[in-house]
Structure formats: C-alpha cells, structure tokens
Amino acid sequence: MTTIEPGIRNGVRAVILREQQLLLLRKAYEDGSERYVLPGGAQDQGETLSEALQRECREEIGTEVMVSGLLYLADYFKPRTGQPDMIRQQLELLFLCEVPGDYVAQNGHAPDKHQAAVVWIAQDRLAQINLMPSDLSGVLSSADLNSHPVYLGEIKP
C-alpha cells in the first residue's frame, strides 16, 4: 500500500533556453546511473514563487534568472527515494526564464544532492536522456515555449 506524505509541496522550476538548448542539472548516482532535471526546488514558507526560483537558481546554477512568465502547472506524485511505499504530492510550476548573456553553465554554491554538473542539452535530444519527470521530455522538446500557461494535469515519474 502506498502512503502519501502529509502536505502538498510547491515546486518551482526554471525552463531556460538558449539557441534551442535547455539548461539542466545532471545528477549522478552511486550505481552509475544519471538523471537530468530542471533547476529549481521547493518554495519555503514566507517566500513568493519568484523568490523561491531565484534562491534555487543561485544555489544550483550559480546565477540569478530573469523570469519571463509561467509556462506550465502540473500535479506530480513523486516517489520518495529510499521509501518505496511513500509518495510526496507536489504542485510543479514551470517558469520560462533567462540567464545573463555571459552565463557559463556551472554548479552554484549549494548544488542538490547528487548534482554533478549543469549542462546545456539540445531540445531535440531530450527524449534520448533520462529527464525526470519523464513526461516533460515531450512537452519541452516540441512546445512553443512562448505560449500561454498550460495545466499539464498529472505528470508521471
């Protein structure tokens, strides 16, 4: 039986594109596997969504971002690492962002656990990597990212 952790977490994510490449965190694990995720994380109590996104980007990618607007909302029932029968319910808010023109992909001062690097990946290669949540591959590789916000419903791990 699967248990949902109490409370719903707001997660903010930065969708950063440059020349049809998406900025992602590469996470490496002890078993040799790797995953890619959008920069971002949990909103802390008392923070606005924008403040949370700025803090997470400074920590993970080492720079402030310019937030252009909300792209997508999604429900995400995230399996808890090391707890196979536990799920965390999250509301994922994906924002279109820009980094300064001279930004070089690099880890920030407080990278995520298992964060090995910050990398640019071509949008047309997203289906070939282990992007988490996996449902985002199709959305981010082919979507018109200048469109209005879209509610994605539930996205799968």
Query: Rounded to the nearest 5°, which phi and psi values hold at 34?
Result: -140, 155
Answer yes or no: are the C-beta atoms of 69 and 96 closer than 8 Å: yes
pTM listed for this prediction? 0.90
Q: Specify the length of the chain in residues.
A: 157
Q: What distance in Å separates the CA atoms of residue 76 and residue 155, rounded to the nearest whole number? A: 5
State which residues of the chain have pLDDT below 50. Answer: none
- Burial string for 85-112 (b: 16+ CB within 10 Å, else e) reads eebbebebbbbbbebeeebebebbeebb
Q: What is the pLDDT of residue 114?
A: 96
pLDDT digits (tens, 9 = 90+) for 11-47: 999 999 999 999 999 999 999 999 999 999 999 999 9
Q: What does the pLDDT read at residue 85?
A: 85
Which helix (H) or strand (E) element contains residue 154?
strand 150-155
